[in-house]
Amino acid sequence: MPQHQFVGLFTIQSEFHYDIVRKLYEGGMGIVYEAEQHGARGFIKRVAIKVIRQNYADQKQFIENFIGEAKLVADLIHTNIVQTYHLGQTQNVYFIAMELIRGVNLEQFSQQLAAKRTLLPVELAVFIVSRVARGLAYAHAKTDSQGRPLGIVHRDVSFKNIMIAFEGDVKLTDFGIAKARGFLVDNEGEVVAGKADYMSPEQANFKITDKRSDLFSAGVVLAHLLLGRNLFKGATAEESRKRMIEMPIPDFRALDPRVDDRLNEILHRALARNLDQRYPNADEMLYDLEHYIYHSGYGPTNETMGRFMRELFDQQVPAAPAQRTRGTTELLEPANIYASKKTK
């Protein structure tokens, strides 16, 4: 019997069982754990589990956005975006099961570069941001089941939300404050969302954003990777936003002699405050970045990036915090999660 004839003839009823292994990351509103997903006959898969902090669990708008994030990214299936597997609920706490990346985010990556006094090669900095641009190009072009554009804007392209695996894969994560039609509650224009030292000028100025906002943020990431510091970061969030809006964009050739004329042009186009002068879409930015590193016929690959990562970290995964932070782990005690048949 052809496979399609089985559709609708039976329903699979099962429970997902997750055992928490360790805490990976703790943010202001959520916590990410490494966990084991258990299945039939000894099946085990390592995943990441993102949960809402307990003090946000009863805030309706936050819960709606958390659910909206899961629904939004469920169909974002791309090699440069962290994959979402499952949205669940247990003990009145929502959680998202996601692809586990064996690696670090760019903040941890830059800290290791500084600790080992290692300079990131220009071509690898461009390679990393080119992969971010690939993920953004896919997300920005995503449509719903009727073919209507979702209008996704990530709005938080930053060091903490870009992962590098020890195999060299670069992945964009955390669409928690993304803008997309019909998925998340959005107060844009009334509140400012994102990290102040990576947001676009229009984002910092409480204006409505589109996909070009993410490209400015990607330009900030590229400049940060090249220079080893974020030019826009101020002592406070307010100062960072002011710099985003007012600070002159420098000649990067004067700040780093490795930056040539072409790379300086790419940076200035990505960081143009005039939207008409900025890259109109991620595809054009991607083309320029890839042409820059591959025009001579050979350039960095995932394998190149992976070798650099393994040498930088001595092939060691950074240790997770051993201590349990008060007020965070009780929402997962005992250390397992059962997602019932009624799980969304």
The pair of three-digit structure tokens given for residue 144, joined into one six-digit string:
């719903």
Residues 246, 197: Cα–Cα separation, whole Å: 13
Q: What is the three-class DSSP state of 329?
A: helix
Q: Is 156 a catalytic residue?
A: yes
Secondary element (H or E) of residue 293? helix 282-294
Rg (CA), the chain: 21
Instruction: Please name which of 312, 258, 252, 314 lies closest in space to residue 111, comparing C-alpha atoms.
Output: 312
Q: Which of 58, 75, 144, 156 is catalytic?
A: 156
Instruction: Please name which of 276, 281, 277 lies closest in space to residue 268, comparing C-alpha atoms.
Output: 277
Task: Determine if the peptide bond prior to 201 is cis (ω within 30°).
Answer: no
Contact 319, 23 (CB under 8 A): no
Task: Using CB atoms within 10 Å of the CB of residue 256, give its burial: 0 to 12 exposed, 13 to 18 middle, 19+ buried.
Answer: middle
Residue matched to tokens 């008060």: 326
Catalogue the active-site residues. 156
